Structure 1
Amino acid sequence: MSTIEQGTASEVRRKGKAAKAASLTMVNLSTAEKNRGLAFIADQLLAHKNFILAENAKDLQDGKQNGLSDAVLDRIMLNEKRIEDMVHAVRLLIELKDPIGETLETIQKDNGLLIKKKRVPIGVIGMVYEARPNVTIDAATLSLKTGNAVILRGSSSAKYSNMALVQVIQQALEESGIPTDAVQLIEDTSRETARELFRLNEYLDVLIPRGGKNLIQTVVRESTVPVIETGAGNCHVYIDEDADKAMAEKIVLNAKLQRPSVCNAAESILIHEHWFQQNGNELLEKLAEHHVEICGDEQVCSSFPKANRATDEDWAAEYLGLKVSVKTVQSVDEAINHINEYGTKHSEAIVTNNENHAGKFLNSVDASSVYHNVSTRFTDGFEFGYGAEIGISTQKLHARGPMGLEALTSTKFYIYGDGQIRE
Structure 2
Amino acid sequence: MKLIDTKIKNDVLQSMMTIIDKRRNEIIEENKKDLESFNRDDQALYDRLIVDQKKVDGMIQAIKEVKEQEDPVGNTISERTLDTGLKIVNKTDPFGTIMIIYESRPDVTIEAAVLAFKANNKIFLKGGKEANHSNIILEECWHQALEENGLSKDWIKLLHLNREETREFLSNPPEKMDLIVPRGGEKLIDFVKKTATCAVLISGRGNNFLYVAPDADWDIAKKVIINAKTDKISGCNALDKVLLDSNLPDFEAKVKDLADTLDNEYNVEILADSKVKEVVDYPTLPTEDTWSEEFLAMKIVLSSVDSFDEAVEKINKYSGGHSSVIITEDNELALNFMQQIDCAAVYQNASTRFTDGGQMGVGAELAISTDKLHHRGPLGLKQLVTNKYYVWGNGHIRE
Give the Å deviation of 1:74: 0.2
Answering whether residue 182 of structure 2 is matched by residue 206 of structure 1, we say no
Which letter maps to 2:212?
Answer: I
SS in 1 for 2:247: helix
Return the TM-score normalized by structure 2. 0.96
Which letter maps to 1:51?
Answer: E
Answering whether residue 188 of structure 2 is matched by residue 215 of structure 1, we say yes
**Percent pairwise identity:** 38
Give the Å deviation of 1:225: 2.0
Which letter maps to 2:325?
Answer: A
Q: Distance in 2 between matches of 1:197 and 1:224?
A: 10
Give the Å deviation of 1:152: 0.6
SS in 2 for 1:120: strand
Give the Å deviation of 1:383: 1.3
Which letter maps to 2:92?
Answer: R
What pairs up with 1:19-418 in 2 under 5 angstroms?
24-25=1-2, 28-64=3-39, 67-188=40-161, 190-200=162-172, 202-275=175-248, 276-288=251-263, 289-305=265-281, 307-310=282-285, 311-418=287-394
Q: Distance in 2 between matches of 1:318 and 1:35?
A: 38
Which letter maps to 1:44?
Answer: I
Return the TM-score normalized by structure 1. 0.90
Q: Distance in 2 between matches of 1:406 and 1:197?
A: 27
Q: Distance in 2 between matches of 1:111 and 1:134?
A: 52
Which letter maps to 2:159?
Answer: I
Which letter maps to 1:371?
Answer: Y
Q: Distance in 1 between matches of 2:63 and 2:322?
A: 25
Give the Å deviation of 1:68: 3.8
- The count of aligned residue pairs is 394
Task: Provide the residue aligned with 1:7 in structure 2.
Answer: none
Q: Distance in 1 between matches of 2:123 and 2:7?
A: 20
Give the Å deviation of 1:302: 2.2
Give the Å deviation of 1:406: 2.1
**CA RMSD, Structure 1 to Structure 2 (Å):** 1.4
The superposition leaves residues 149-187 of structure 1 with CA deviations (integer Å, 9 ceiling, x where unpaired) of 000111111111111111111111111222211000012
Higher helix share: 1
- Structure 1 residue runs of 4 or more that deviate by more than 4 Å after TM superposition: none
Q: Distance in 2 between matches of 1:281 and 1:291?
A: 15
The superposition leaves residues 302-340 of structure 1 with CA deviations (integer Å, 9 ceiling, x where unpaired) of 2112x2111312211101010111111111111111111
Give the Å deviation of 1:110: 2.1
Q: Distance in 2 between matches of 1:284 and 1:86?
A: 37
Q: Distance in 1 between matches of 2:191 and 2:307?
A: 36
The superposition leaves residues 275-313 of structure 1 with CA deviations (integer Å, 9 ceiling, x where unpaired) of 3324111111111121110011012222112x2111312
SS in 1 for 2:278: helix
The superposition leaves residues 333-381 of structure 1 with CA deviations (integer Å, 9 ceiling, x where unpaired) of 1111111111011111111112232122101111111111110001111
Q: Please list every run of 5 or more consecutive structure 2 residues that lacks an aligned counterpart in the other structure.
A: none
Which letter maps to 1:212?
Answer: G
Q: Distance in 1 between matches of 2:16 and 2:184?
A: 25
